[in-house]
Amino acid sequence: MGISFEIAGNHKIESANYVTNVVPMLHPDRVLDVHDFLYILDGTWEIYENGTAYEMEKDDLLILSAGNHHYGKKPSSAGNKHMYIHLYQENRKRSTSKKAGSTDIPSSTLTSNSPLFHCASNPRIKQYFKEIIATHLSDNPSINQEMKEEKISLLMGLMLWEMSSLQQSVETKPKHSELISEIIDLLQTNPHHMYTTEEIADKFYVCSKTVSNMFKGAYDVTFYSYQMNMKLEMVRQYLSDHPYETLASAARNYGFYDEFHLGKAYKKKFGFSPKRKI
């Protein structure tokens, strides 16, 4: 079931806390009138929402929406640690007046077809989650209730923004993205070498056609073109950072045959020759 939250909304907390399941426990069988944000800090837990099971592990965040049926069929792992936020959301009223010279700013929303988020790659989500709980539990006398609620609302908006950013990166992630990332890392850390698709295929145990198809599908260019464009961008930066280096030096450092080969490729990409003596 899809979820949607207005990032700039007026977010209010009913409760928030940490829990350790010293003894394995089932998720409560219930229907809440608030949204339940559940973040696993350690261990595993299987939770159902309206008949759909979600297997949760460390650094997984599950949004159990208000009005839906939530329950468990098997207990959590022993020692399961998690944190939760019970949230109800009010949309902020937007002014109908418009100042001269102002522009309309569209509302940002967190939308996802799945309520389960794998947050290991974005530690800011966990940090905001913890800050929200700390603020909610705080009894600092110098901060009144109104200030406390405003801070929680802002922190919640920041966390939702990070979750939205995470979701967009997942949705736009090209196929074979992990393998592509490894290949690109190899290219960037060995700029002196010009790789063939056959060399890449041998290193990563795939066929050369797979390498070609991955880069064509992800970036709409051939593997050779991608590598050449990357190297030329690196050369441009190198020449900018090292104004007294020659093209011959740049050619050696970035895998070109010689300075003439580099100069020709550089002019083809950027429309002008590098300002160096050949």
For the full predicted model, state whether its pTM sits above 0.75.
no
Task: Output DSSP code: residue 247.
Answer: H
Cα–Cα dist 27/96, whole Å:
44
The DSSP element (H or E) to which 48 belongs, if any, is strand 45-49
Is the pLDDT at 23 greater than 90? The verdict is yes
Q: Which pLDDT belongs to residue 199?
A: 95
Q: Which pLDDT belongs to residue 141?
A: 82
Place of tokens 């394995």: 24
Cα–Cα dist 70/219, whole Å:
42
Burial class (CB in 10 A: 0-12, 13-18, 19+), 53: exposed
189: Cβ contacts below 8 Å, ≥ 6 apart: none
Domains identified in the chain and CATH numbers: 3-91+109-171 (2.60.120.280), 177-270 (1.10.10.60)
Task: Output DSSP code: residue 92.
Answer: P
Q: Phi/psi of residue 63, each to 5°? A: -100, 110
Place of tokens 């007294």: 244
- State pLDDT tens for residues 193-251: 999 999 999 998 888 888 998 898 888 899 999 999 999 999 999 998 988 889 999 99
- State pLDDT tens for residues 4-19: 999 988 999 999 999 9
Is the pLDDT at 256 greater than 90? The verdict is yes
- State pLDDT tens for residues 63-106: 999 999 999 999 999 999 999 999 986 544 333 334 444 333 33
